[in-house]
A and B are shown apart, each in its own frame.
Chain A
Amino acid sequence: MKVLQSLLLVLALIVIALVVAVIPGGQTLIGKVLPYLAFAVFIGGFIAKVVGWSRSPVPFRIPTTAGQEESLPWIKPNRFDNPSTTFGVIVRMLLEVTMFRSLFRNTKAEIHDGPKLVYGSSKYLWLFALIFHYSFLTVVIRHLRLFLNPVPGFVQAISFADGFLQVGSPSVMISGLTLVLGVLLLLLRRMIRPQVRYISLVNDYFPLLLILSIAVSGILMRYFLRVDIVSVKQLIVGLATFHPVIPGQVGAIFFVHLFLVCCLMAYFPFSKLMHMGGVFLSPTRNMANNSRKVRHINPWNDPAIKPHSYADYEDEFREFMKEAEIPVEKE
């Protein structure tokens, strides 16, 4: 049901793009105005979201004890899974951001005959997420060839590696196929596993389907409904140099693709996709577990409120305590 709602939303966006691309002035709207608006919402929303998060105080070190904490000298600590130094935290963060170690530790719970509850390792999410994210990254870097003039070497190198199978013309890009594969795997996981399906909402399915529609429209444009790539690059470089133009004849499929990308950018800061910035602010990932070495003071403590020892407390309430027959240390 929720997946159908998301699908309808994405289809509605595609229909809107198709209609706007053919009405007079519509191509100007999608090609010259919308990208700027979407980009501004993306950057502004992203910053606002991160600044909003940064206003929340984090009172304690929140370690996730996936490894031995540093304690006595003869007990070997796990430096990266339970780091006590900034360097350890940086390594843990790098491993998290580039290799998704939290997902690697994902578990599943199953009920067997007995009834017996069994927990087991579940690596699917980790594997699918790796396929998806690295494909997406490669696709984004490859697209820089349409933004940058002249095209720098690293973009050409990645495009070359991506197309090295030399299948067909234009060459099939591996990352395009694996991106679709990754999205489909993540989508199927959500739809097939009952536990995940139960907690999935429209805002879980919608970004997946939106990204799928972007990937499919891109693949259609590259291999089937060809567009003039030189005009496309002129349009995009025009945007990046603040002299937007709509050159030559560019097919409607390009405007559908661009419109969907703009939707993704504008939707990004208000969605779960903000985990891109949020991963760096995860308290369980970005804090050293040094609670036993360093005294951490609550950031919201009012400095006017002084520490109140038990002796002071007893001094203040001795009469009442005696009256209530509570034992006191000092008579």
Chain B
Amino acid sequence: MYDKEKIIPGLIVFVLIAVFPILYNRGNAGHIPNPEKPKAARECVRPVQDMRESHMQLLIDWRTDVIRDNGARYATAAGGTRYARSLQLGCMKCHDSKRKFCDECHNYAAVKPYCWDCHIEPKENM
């Protein structure tokens, strides 16, 4: 093997970069998000799995429809619950804590939604 003194450190650097996530986590999966579920409400506007996967698309569709196209402000869920198509008047009626609900998963997945660029963030005791 020629140029050992350069190639071996180079390979070590490569391996360290490649296994960086393993070294960083040190075997600890960390905090698993556990968003607080509303106690009183019976049903959500969509099935749970749908909400987990695409609530952000639902919210942006509401925004476009209600704010820009003057769409309906209220709708009815499959089980008959009437709800406002609105983040703060709808969603946060039941999911009343941003910190205990929204932030749980958003922090975990490092998502920074720009909801609060326009909406006023609810003040919560930290």
Contacts and interface: CB of A to CB of B under 8 A. Distances in A.
B14 to A, nearest CB: 7
Q: How large is the interface on B (under 10, 10 to 19, 20 to 34, 35 or more residues)?
A: 35 or more
A319 interface: no
Choose among B49, B57, B109 the residue with the greatest number of A CB atoms under 10 Å from its CB: B109
Contacts of A242: 22, 27
A166 B24 CA distance: 30
B69 interface: no
Contact of A169 (B11, B30, B56, B109): B56
Interface stretch (B36-44, B77-85, B88-96, B110-118): B110-118
A240 B22 contact: yes
Contact of A226 (B4, B25, B28, B53): B53
B67 to A, nearest CB: 14
Interface stretch (A13-21, A68-76, A143-151, A306-314): A143-151
Interface stretch (A4-12, A176-184, A231-239): A231-239
Q: Is the interface of B mostly helix, strand, loop or mixed?
A: helix
Contacts of A241: 22, 25, 27-29
A149 B25 contact: yes
A87 interface: no
B25 A237 contact: yes
Given A43-B19, A54-B3, A149-B25, 18 more contacts: A42-B18, A43-B18, A47-B11, A50-B11, A51-B1, A54-B1, A55-B1, A144-B20, A149-B30, A156-B112, A166-B114, A170-B111, A171-B114, A227-B53, A231-B52, A240-B25, A243-B27, A249-B49
The 8 residue pairs across chains A and B that have the minimum distance between CB atoms: A149-B30, A147-B21, A169-B60, A151-B110, A226-B53, A145-B110, A240-B21, A228-B52
15 contacts: A47-B15, A51-B7, A54-B4, A56-B2, A144-B20, A149-B25, A149-B30, A160-B112, A226-B57, A229-B111, A230-B109, A241-B22, A241-B25, A251-B53, A277-B14
Interface of B: 1-4, 7, 10-11, 14-15, 18-22, 24-25, 27-33, 49, 52-54, 56-57, 59-60, 105, 107-114
